């Protein structure tokens, strides 16, 4: 049903984001809990953020395609301050990660990590896509692969103390 | 594709540079007033009047606004490039070389605003008309991008935070000799390591200082500059480098972004490089940017900048002196003179080459390299030499 909402409503669901004809499919995908990335229907190249044409072969046959959400952490930031956002309290440094997605070398997506904190969030750790809601709109986030169902050993790190490194 | 073609080489000069100096607080002045002050000063330094100016390059405040602030009667060319400042400068240099104008007034006013410091909002005159809506914190667009790449730098090269700290200390030591600088209090490594964390792994002292103030320049033909009071500083080459996928989180790697393009371009178009440079100005809006510039221009290999700095640290003066000779950002850089998006680096380069750098003067400085900006849309550089 979310795929059928009007452009007007789509834009109102993502305040602060710049929606365009080229990234609308990505945002419609979010409403359906699908992480959608533009892929070239001819040469197969993935590209994010969305472009109107394939930068690799200049084909206009762009096919917004769901990714697996599997990948590994490429970069990390812990915000000690930042813009106000529902559910974000910077008194515990808020993690940002750029994830190298498995679909293609160099294809990356940036968001936060849930269910882990501090030193558990490290470059090269495997992650999986998850979804949370902010102000009633789905937000794609990641979860450490070691903390997903079936693996309880590392799953208690949610409350891990902030390390001396200041993370 | 990088070309060595460079017909403008040494044909255009920076005739003079002036600054208002920089304040790390919300002053009770407008951004436009600083730009006007620096512009009037640089024109007077050259013995020029408003009627001599026929080109304007600057974006803060916009060039059309500056013309009417200063009552410049007629101009035939103007530009409002995005920062950092080599963009404003190179637009003017190419306009003079091509004949779009003959005397270009080039300026940049830094101003404390909401994007650089939340405390700017305490000044009602600095509040935006319509406050923006944040898309949320889950993005590394803008300055956060350097923090993310700093994490990658530490991971790939296994270097400690101290390597970033050397850059901050060098800037602060140099700023002590610069009356225009915002920050003068000396800095120790302990100060650096205990500074307030803003976005791990970068702390407050890894980020440039938000300031009020402005720099201004007169750019004209080398011939005309020779008739003006100060020694002309010739522009050898300028470059604004970008690679594909230059978005903050898609940038290929620490060894493949805009800086490498800038370096290859400047080397192809200039007669000299680091072995013959007397003073070097790597951008330092974030400490990580400086480390990467030192590596990319060729002083050392990837990940080795911290070790290089240690090796070339002058204990007597507590700063970098490459081969005991070449200072790095002798004005204090963006970290300690103030965040000028590169105009401070260019201004100090001009003053060094003109012999006007006061107690910071590098003896007989003849050649300078400025590498401005960061990794993404904003890697830039210019090579300058004394006439």
B152–chain A Cβ distance below 8 A for any pair: yes
Largest CA distance in chain A: 50
Give the pLDDT band of residue B4 (cuts 50, 70, 90): very high
Q: How many Å lie between the alpha carbon of A109 and the closest alpha carbon of chain B?
A: 7
In this structure, chain A runs to a length of 167
Distance CA A164, CA A167 (A): 7
What is the three-class DSSP state of B256?
Answer: strand
pLDDT tens-digit readout, A125-145? 999 999 999 999 999 999 999
pLDDT tens-digit readout, B231-249? 999 999 999 999 999 999 9
DSSP for B112-130? --TTT-GGGGGSGGGS-SS
Query: At residue A163, does pLDDT exceed 60?
Result: no
> Residue B341 half-sphere exposure, CB side, CA atoms within 13 Å?
25
In chain A, residues with a C-beta closer than 8 Å to the C-beta of B201 are: 165
In chain A, residues with a C-beta closer than 8 Å to the C-beta of B134 are: 16, 83-85
Query: At residue B134, does pLDDT exceed 90?
Result: no
Q: Which of B375, B198, B14, B128 is nearest to A90 (CA)?
A: B198
Please, which residues bridge with residue A94 across strands? A79
pLDDT of residue A164: 41
Q: Report the mean per-residue pLDDT for chain A.
A: 89
Q: Which of B93, B95, B49 is nearest to B73 (CA)?
A: B49
Query: At residue A153, does pLDDT exceed 90?
Result: no
Q: How many Å lie between the alpha carbon of A69 and the closest alpha carbon of chain B?
A: 16
pLDDT of residue A3: 55
Distance CA B373, CA B321 (A): 22
Give the pLDDT band of residue A1 (cuts 50, 70, 90): very low
> Residue A108 half-sphere exposure, CB side, CA atoms within 13 Å?
25
Distance CA A45, CA A27 (A): 20
pLDDT tens-digit readout, B341-374? 999 999 999 999 999 999 999 999 999 999 999 9
Q: Are B339 and B110 in contact (CB under 8 A)?
A: yes
Share of chain A above pLDDT 90, in %: 84
Query: At residue B380, does pLDDT exceed 90?
Result: yes
pLDDT of residue B115: 82
B324–chain A Cβ distance below 8 A for any pair: no
Cβ separation B140–A98 shorter than 8 A: yes
Distance CA B162, CA A74 (A): 22
pLDDT of residue A149: 53
Give the pLDDT band of residue A157 (cuts 50, 70, 90): very low
Cβ separation B151–A75 shorter than 8 A: yes
Beta-strand pair B12-19/B233-241: antiparallel
Cβ separation B137–A123 shorter than 8 A: no
User: Torsion angle, CA of B120/B126/B128/B134, rounded to 10 degrees?
Assistant: -10
Chain A residue with minimal CA distance to B253? A106
Arithmetic mean of pLDDT, A54-80: 98
Q: Which of B247, B254, B157, B137 is nearest to B198 (CA)?
A: B137
Cβ separation B200–A55 shorter than 8 A: no
pLDDT tens-digit readout, B64-73? 999 999 999 9
Interfacial B residues in 178-207 facing A (CB < 8 Å):
196-201, 203
For A54, the token pair is 């394939």
Please, which residues bridge with residue B116 across strands? none
Q: Are A96 and A111 in contact (CB under 8 A)?
A: yes
Q: How many Å lie between the alpha carbon of A17 and the closest alpha carbon of chain B?
A: 5
Q: Which of B376, B11, B77, B2 is nearest to B223 (CA)?
A: B11
b/e map of A37-46 (b: 16 or more CB within 10 Å)? bbbbeeeeeb
A114–chain B Cβ distance below 8 A for any pair: no
Arithmetic mean of pLDDT, B110-119: 90
Q: Which of B372, B249, B273 is nearest to B326 (CA)?
A: B273
Distance CA B283, CA A105 (A): 30
For A107, the token pair is 């294809």
pLDDT of residue B128: 83
Q: Report the mean per-residue pLDDT for chain B.
A: 97
Residue in this structure with the two tokens 């305040």, named with its chain if needed: A15
Cβ separation A83–B250 shorter than 8 A: no
Query: How many inter-chain contacts (A to B, CB under 8 Å) are there?
Result: 94
Chain A residue with minimal CA distance to B152? A75
Cβ separation B132–A96 shorter than 8 A: no
Cβ separation A84–B134 shorter than 8 A: yes
Arithmetic mean of pLDDT, B275-304: 98
């Amino acid at each position: 049903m979310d795929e059928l909402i009007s452009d007007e409503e789509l834009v109102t669901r993502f305040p602060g984001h710049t929606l365009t004809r080229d990234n609308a499919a990505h945002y419609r995908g979010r409403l359906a809990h699908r992480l959608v990335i533009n892929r070239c229907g001819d040469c197969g190249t993935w590209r994010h953020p969305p472009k109107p044409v394939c930068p690799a072969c200049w084909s206009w046959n762009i096919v917004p395609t769901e990714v697996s959400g599997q990948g590994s952490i490429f970069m990390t930031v812990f915000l000690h301050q930042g813009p106000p956002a529902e559910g974000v309290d910077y008194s515990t440094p808020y993690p940002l990660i750029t994830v190298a997605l498995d679909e293609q070398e160099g294809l990356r997506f940036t968001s936060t990590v849930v269910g882990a904190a501090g030193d558990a969030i490290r470059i090269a750790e495997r992650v999986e896509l998850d979804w949370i809601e902010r102000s009633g709109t789905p937000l794609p986030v990641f979860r450490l692969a070691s903390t997903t169902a079936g693996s309880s050993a590392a799953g208690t790190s949610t409350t891990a103390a902030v390390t001396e490194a200041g993370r | 594709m990088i070309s060595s073609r460079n017909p403008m080489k040494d044909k255009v000069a920076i005739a003079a540079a002036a600054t208002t100096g920089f304040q790390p607080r919300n002053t009770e002045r407008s951004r436009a007033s600083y730009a006007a002050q620096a512009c009037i000063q640089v024109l007077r330094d050259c013995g020029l009047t408003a009627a001599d100016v026929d080109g304007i390059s600057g974006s803060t405040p916009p060039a059309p606004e500056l013309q009417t602030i200063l009552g410049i009667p007629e101009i035939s060319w103007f530009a409002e490039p995005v920062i950092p400042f080599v963009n404003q400068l190179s637009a003017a240099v190419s306009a003079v070389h091509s004949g779009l104008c003959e005397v270009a007034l080039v300026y940049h006013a830094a101003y404390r605003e909401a994007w650089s410091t939340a405390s700017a909002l305490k000044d009602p005159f600095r509040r935006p008309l319509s406050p923006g809506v944040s898309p949320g914190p889950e993005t590394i667009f803008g300055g956060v991008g350097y923090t993310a790449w700093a994490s990658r730098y530490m991971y790939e090269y296994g270097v400690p935070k101290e390597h970033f700290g050397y850059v901050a200390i060098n800037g602060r030591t140099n700023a002590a000799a610069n009356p225009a600088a915002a920050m003068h209090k000396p800095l120790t490594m302990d100060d650096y390591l205990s500074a307030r964390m803003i976005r791990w792994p970068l702390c407050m002292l890894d980020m440039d200082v938000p300031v009020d103030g402005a720099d201004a320049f007169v750019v004209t033909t080398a011939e005309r500059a020779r008739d003006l009071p100060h020694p002309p500083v010739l522009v050898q080459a300028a470059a604004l480098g970008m690679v594909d996928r230059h978005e903050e989180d898609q940038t290929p790697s620490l060894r493949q972004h805009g800086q490498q393009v800038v370096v290859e371009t400047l080397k192809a178009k200039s007669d000299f490089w680091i072995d013959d440079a007397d003073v070097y100005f790597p951008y330092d809006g974030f400490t990580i940017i400086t480390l990467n510039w030192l590596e990319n221009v060729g002083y050392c290999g990837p990940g080795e900048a911290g070790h290089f700095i240690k090796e070339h640290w002058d204990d007597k003066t507590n700063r970098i002196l490459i081969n005991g000779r070449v200072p790095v950002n002798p004005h204090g850089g963006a970290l300690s003179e103030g965040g000028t998006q590169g105009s401070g680096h260019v201004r100090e380069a001009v003053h060094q080459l003109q012999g006007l750098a006061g107690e910071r003067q590098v003896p007989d400085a003849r050649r300078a390299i400025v590498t401005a900006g960061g990794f993404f849309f904003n890697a830039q550089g210019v090579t300058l030499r004394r006439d």
